[in-house]
Amino acid sequence: MKNSAVKKSVGEIAAFLKAEVVGDKDQFIEGIAPLDEAVSSDISFLSNASFEKALGESNAGAVIVQPELASGCKATAIIHPDPYRCFAAISGWFSSEPEFTSGINDSASVDASAIIADSATICEQVVIGPDVHIGENTIIESGAVIQKGTVIGSNCHIYPNVTLYHDVVLGDEVDVHSGAVIGSDGFGFAPDPKGERKWHKIHQLGTVIIGDRVDIGSSTTIDRGALGDTRIENDVIIDSQVHIGHNCVIGEGSALAGCVGLAGSSIIGKGCLLAGGVGIAGHLTIPDGSQITGMTMVTKTLNKSGSYSSGTPMMQTRDWKKSAIRFSQLDEMAKRLKALEKQLERMSLKD
């Protein structure tokens, strides 16, 4: 990725990263690229030793590497114990995202009671309801809808066509990507099998409260609480197409990958990692620091932190069908085994 506005020497980059340089500190860098695509004006990085061969073949002008891999680098080496974090730190320099100018676009619909910081940006066709508060340097992109009483902190970025329902609270430095919906009603209905209406809607009286430095992916939905609030704590990252039910709590520093689904009142501890497609049944607790692997279905509260998995790995269909039959036979086999154990016990007593 190139950005014509970026031209930094290796020495400048190393100083920013507080890293050591082996090679030409005066080499200028204008782009960032993978090892196998980089040219002499690019910087790259290596954080996985299994790709060490590519390090010796890369045409990059500089490579960020761990100390133990520096000897295999034919380019100028920027040595740091955590190359991936260094990559993250400089990646923004090369971003081609559009720049925004503060102010309110003429096509935006903004209620007179809304309080919007002078440094904020309100783009085309945005709708902002009454009593909304928007903080310094926050960007609200085209087509977003911010309903009554919602509070958005400073340095947030609300991407196009996001909907924030009424009374939602966002902290500072929160990014919400396109199509996300925050504060919609939780799935609350009281059954009435004998009535004319089979379901009676339970009005969701809580809201959603989101902390600082939270990133929410596109088309993700976060339901408001039924009585209390749905809460997302500081430094949580949420991928696209995630669903978080009403009254859930996501602990500080946790990460939820794509298509995770949390039923209502699930509590996810601090620093948890939920891989793609994980499902959490309602009213369960996941302890701090837990890791749930992809497609796992959690149906009970976990009593201690650790790594948890469920389901079977991929296999050929004919083998899977055989295994599925065996699964259906397990209960009968367990009963037969128990009966056999009792028979052996009686025989041993006779001896």
- Tokens found for residue 127: 């709708």
- Tokens found for residue 236: 């949580």
What is the SS3 assignment for 321? helix
**Residues 157, 177, 243, 246: which is the catalytic one?**
246
User: Look-up: residue for tokens 């939920």?
Assistant: 274
What is the SS3 assignment for 50? helix
Tally Cβ neighbours within 10 Å of residue 12: 14
- Nearest Cα residue to 109 out of 146, 163, 135: 146
Helix pair angle (83-91, 10-17), 10° resolution: 110
Residue 14 carries which side chain, given as an amino acid letter? A
243 is catalytic: no
Type and span of the H or E element at 10? helix 10-17
Long-range own/partner contacts, residues 152-160 (CB < 8 A, 24 or more apart): 153/212, 154/117, 159/218, 160/123
> Looking at the DSSP assignment, which residues form a beta bridge with residue 261?
243, 279
Q: Tell me if 239 sits within 8 A of 199, measured CB to CB.
A: no
Sign of CA dihedral 23, 28, 31, 36: negative
Give dist(CA 215, CA 235) in Å, integer.
8
What is the SS3 assignment for 277? coil
Tally Cβ neighbours within 10 Å of residue 340: 10
Active-site residue numbers?
246
